[in-house]
Chains A and B, each alone.
Chain A
């Protein structure tokens, strides 16, 4: 479960990215977070990921107080959540296989178990034939699928996706959203997806939370994009 209580965050340059955010996401939910550029979406992701600390309020993910994590403990926390980045963040000098395996190696998992799981994941994200390719040899969609594979390799309870379709054409975007949907259905993974892809939000209706200038301006359980004036 994800729980944000009165969370505020501002940056040194005076920008108030988040103002008094209260949010609760149940286990197994699939939630969109939408809003215009600069509305605080990315800050919200960074706070959930432990990359930024809130100025005020508390953030709980699976019962862990993320805002109080020490620097050295942040990676341990991240082992239980999967994050999909807009800019992929694959290790450039590792193959797709090695990138996914890396997320399991840090757990000191057994070698054969790692190999088995990586193959499973590669099949799930449909990249079996690209296992030995380096990220630069892949298309954007393939890189995004590799990132998803890495994020879900360790069966995380929560999956956070930061504009996973931001760099992709509509066709590939649908592929990605269907894949996330499948992960949500099959693994019962909680998914928080930041996006500004209006078509996608309207086509695949989920609970939708709209942010604007750091405030939550709408929380629509039945989904659909909000039209701005």
Chain B
């Protein structure tokens, strides 16, 4: 093991030199990684936004339960919460006190409402209720309205459940697509790296001939795979880092309505870049590990 660490700087150097000395091969592997990751980046951007859309729509799927203004005692609040939680199909009940309600109103309707902060607050306490199944929202809402202390209930409207089921299927389809794409990327990248190593299986045999142990041979190849993955991820990262903000500005941060608001530029682009770099390096490592291991056993 100590030998391994002593040899590590040497291995890193070997990996770098090897990339340059097999330049044509390295470039072809790097460009294969680049193309794959460009595709991958595009779909990550789309998938990230679709998941935000569905989250926005799902937030509209909450029932806003406004209580009578005179309900302030903790015992009464607890009772109402218990009653709501007792209704079948209710997933979660969150308390929102009058001050919080006002902040939400300020956020939604503008700064003018700031004047009501403090004792002047005309709003009453409320609950947010989310339901398990979008189709039951109307019935549950009606049921809650019948409870004591409840003034009124509100939810996003009748079209919302339909949209949710639509978006759900979009999300499901997108997820399958991303999984397939990931597999494709995995295959393409590890395959192109495999090709570069395949061309060198004679070298691997020679290294064993002169006394290099399996790990001594493997490590530089693995480092080389990581490096190729890293270099291949650079262009897609630049594409993401500058392309997404451009798109974001062009669309004004949303598609048609605020319901389809886009992911904010940060940290979204940085997360995608990190994913691309990580994915490229990981797949490079795996691809080179597998093919080196294979060719190590090509000869004794």
A interface residues with partner B (beta carbon < 8 Å) = 49-53, 71-72, 74-76, 78-79, 83, 85, 89-93, 102-103, 105-108, 150, 154
Decide if B216 touches A106 in the complex (CB within 8 Å). Answer: yes
Against A, the Cβ 8 Å flags (1 = close, 0 = not) of B203-242 are 1011111111110100000000000000000000000000
Q: For the complex, what is the distance from the CA of A75 to the CA of B204, rounded to whole Å?
A: 12
Return the contact of B300 from the options A52, A85, A92 (Cβ within 8 A): A52
Residues on the B chain within 8 Å of A103, using CB: 210-211
Decide if B212 touches A106 in the complex (CB within 8 Å). Answer: yes
A71: nearest residue on chain B (CB-CB)? B300
Is B258 engaged at the interface, CB distance under 8 Å to the other chain?
no
Decide if B300 touches A50 in the complex (CB within 8 Å). Answer: yes
B interface residues with partner A (beta carbon < 8 Å) = 3, 6-7, 10, 18, 21-22, 203, 205-214, 216, 297, 299-300
Grouping DSSP codes into helix (H, G, I), strand (E, B) and loop, the B interface class, with mixed when no group exceeds half, is: helix
**A71 with B206, Cβ < 8 A, contacts A76-B211, A105-B10 known:** no
B214: nearest residue on chain A (CB-CB)? A72
Decide if B203 touches A91 in the complex (CB within 8 Å). Answer: yes
Q: For the complex, what is the distance from the CA of A52 to the CA of B299, rounded to whole Å?
A: 9
**A79 with B300, Cβ < 8 A, contacts A91-B203, A93-B22, A105-B10 known:** no
Decide if B208 touches A108 in the complex (CB within 8 Å). Answer: no
**A102 with B212, Cβ < 8 A, contacts A93-B18, A93-B21 known:** yes
What is the minimal beta-carbon distance from A61 to any residue of chain B, in angstroms?
14
B7: nearest residue on chain A (CB-CB)? A108
Residues on the B chain within 8 Å of A93, using CB: 18, 21-22, 203
Q: For the complex, what is the distance from the CA of A102 to the CA of B209, rounded to whole Å?
A: 11
Decide if B7 touches A76 in the complex (CB within 8 Å). Answer: no
Q: For the complex, what is the distance from the CA of A159 to the CA of B291, rounded to whole Å?
A: 32
Return the contact of A75 from the options B10, B21, B212 (Cβ within 8 A): B212
Q: For the complex, what is the distance from the CA of A52 to the CA of B21, rounded to whole Å?
A: 32
Residues on the A chain within 8 Å of B208, using CB: 74-75, 78
What is the minimal beta-carbon distance from A44 to any residue of chain B, in angstroms?
15
Decide if B22 touches A106 in the complex (CB within 8 Å). Answer: no
Decide if A102 touches B207 in the complex (CB within 8 Å). Answer: yes
B297: nearest residue on chain A (CB-CB)? A71
What is the minimal beta-carbon distance from A50 to any residue of chain B, in angstroms?
6
Residues on the B chain within 8 Å of A72, using CB: 213-214
Q: For the complex, what is the distance from the CA of A53 to the CA of B208, rounded to whole Å?
A: 16
What is the minimal beta-carbon distance from A161 to any residue of chain B, in angstroms?
14
A154: nearest residue on chain B (CB-CB)? B211
Residues on the A chain within 8 Å of B216, using CB: 75, 106
Q: For the complex, what is the distance from the CA of A106 to the CA of B220, rounded to whole Å?
A: 12
Decide if A74 touches B210 in the complex (CB within 8 Å). Answer: no
B211: nearest residue on chain A (CB-CB)? A79
Residues on the A chain within 8 Å of B211, using CB: 75-76, 78-79, 103, 106-107, 154
Residues on the A chain within 8 Å of B214, using CB: 72, 75
Residues on the A chain within 8 Å of B213, using CB: 72, 75-76, 106
**A150 with B210, Cβ < 8 A, contacts A51-B299, A71-B297, A93-B22 known:** yes
Q: A75-B216, A78-B208, A108-B6 are in contact. List 14 more A-B contacts (CB 8 A).
A: A51-B299, A75-B211, A76-B211, A78-B210, A85-B209, A93-B203, A102-B212, A103-B211, A106-B207, A106-B210, A106-B212, A106-B216, A107-B211, A150-B210
What is the minimal beta-carbon distance from A160 to any residue of chain B, in angstroms?
11
Residues on the A chain within 8 Å of B21, using CB: 93
Q: For the complex, what is the distance from the CA of A52 to the CA of B300, rounded to whole Å?
A: 7
Return the contact of A92 from the options B203, B205, B209 (Cβ within 8 A): B203
Q: For the complex, what is the distance from the CA of A105 to the CA of B208, rounded to whole Å?
A: 13
Residues on the B chain within 8 Å of A150, using CB: 210
